[in-house]
Amino acid sequence: MSLPGKKIQINEVNYHVYDEGDSDQVVILLHGQPDTSGMWEHQATALVGAGFRVIAPDMLGYGETDKPQAAARYTADHILADILALIEHLQLPKMDIVGHDWGAFASWELVLRKPELFRKHVALAVGHPGGIFDDMSMASVKTNWYMFMNGQEHAAELYAQNNFKFMREALLPSHPDLDEVTSRMADPVAMNGMLNWDRANQMVSFYLAHVSGELEYGNCKVPTMGVWSSGDAYLPEESWMTGTAQRMDADWRYERIEGASHWMMMDEPETVTNLLLDWLRVGDSSG
């Protein structure tokens, strides 16, 4: 379930946006797959209570935000353009940004492309995007199996079959609120929206761009905290996150949460919230 919010039209798409708090210290929370802004409930409430203004959109294709049927609308460039347009629409000052899963992919791209917009960054589960290519072994590629699966022609049919049996037992068995996810995914339009992220941003294309030399990432100039959980079945290689230290030209902090799943902010809400408050409250660092 999405956090309460308002509709804002961005690039001809209606985004549902949680916007609470009256402060010049702004933090944007970007969720990933297969979630909504509601996954930030604990963190958003605490951040507002601590004096932050919190912006948490339902990302494209999720929750109460529009769900374009064409996969081409979900490319990284379109998603990033939407977030930048949202920032401009709300006339936000230099801000903090927190991302998880696909939301962390977006937050990394934003701080790398537009570092002047951001004061501090938190990446949950996902390390610097350049680090994904550091280990091109079969083992590392296997960890992306679900991204390849999501791009297959009959994925939606497979996932919905037999009361979402495959989704429950193979794709998302560790999700803390699987009933909520499957209730949303029962709508074919919502299922299509979720899968469009992987259809539009295929791992094969990223790998090809890297090995051909077309895709190179620079170091990050925005102070960043990376948080990884030892029970993450989707991004199980801690080295991706710890290796981010070598890709930073600004302050870097690493935190490991023992036992939590990929959805650490739901499994260990107080731990994640306290880490966010501690990092975002520290000084006015600009790297």
For residues 237-258, average pLDDT: 96
For residues 109-116, average pLDDT: 98
pLDDT at 30 over 80: yes
Between 277 and 142, residue with greater pLDDT: 277
Report which of 189, 205, 188, 193 is spatially closest to residue 148, judged by C-alpha positions: 205
Cβ–Cβ < 8 Å for 128, 60: no
Q: What DSSP string runs through 232-256?
A: -SSS--HHHHHGGGGGBSS-EEEEE
What domains, with CATH codes, occur in the chain? 6-135+219-281 (3.40.50.1820)
Between 282 and 2, residue with greater pLDDT: 2
pLDDT at 169 over 80: yes
CA distance 36 to 77: 20
Q: Kindly report, residue by residue over 202-246, the tens digit of the pLDDT.
A: 888 888 988 888 888 999 999 999 999 999 999 998 999 999 999
pLDDT band at 282 (very low <50, low <70, confident <90, very high): low
What secondary structure letter does DSSP report for 167? I
For residues 145-155, average pLDDT: 92
Report which of 202, 217, 25 is spatially closest to residue 108, judged by C-alpha positions: 217
pLDDT at 287: 42
pLDDT at 141: 80
pLDDT at 286: 47
pLDDT at 253: 98
pLDDT at 34: 98
Q: What is the mean pLDDT of the chain?
A: 95
Strands 252-257 and 224-229 turn out to be parallel
- pTM for the predicted model, two decimal places: 0.96
CA distance 120 to 281: 10
For the chain, strand residue ranges (E) read: 6-10, 13-20, 26-30, 53-57, 95-100, 118-124, 224-229, 252-257
CA distance 59 to 67: 9
CA distance 276 to 274: 5
pLDDT at 134: 78
pLDDT at 283 over 70: no
How many C-alpha atoms does 59 have within 13 Å on its Cβ side? Answer: 33
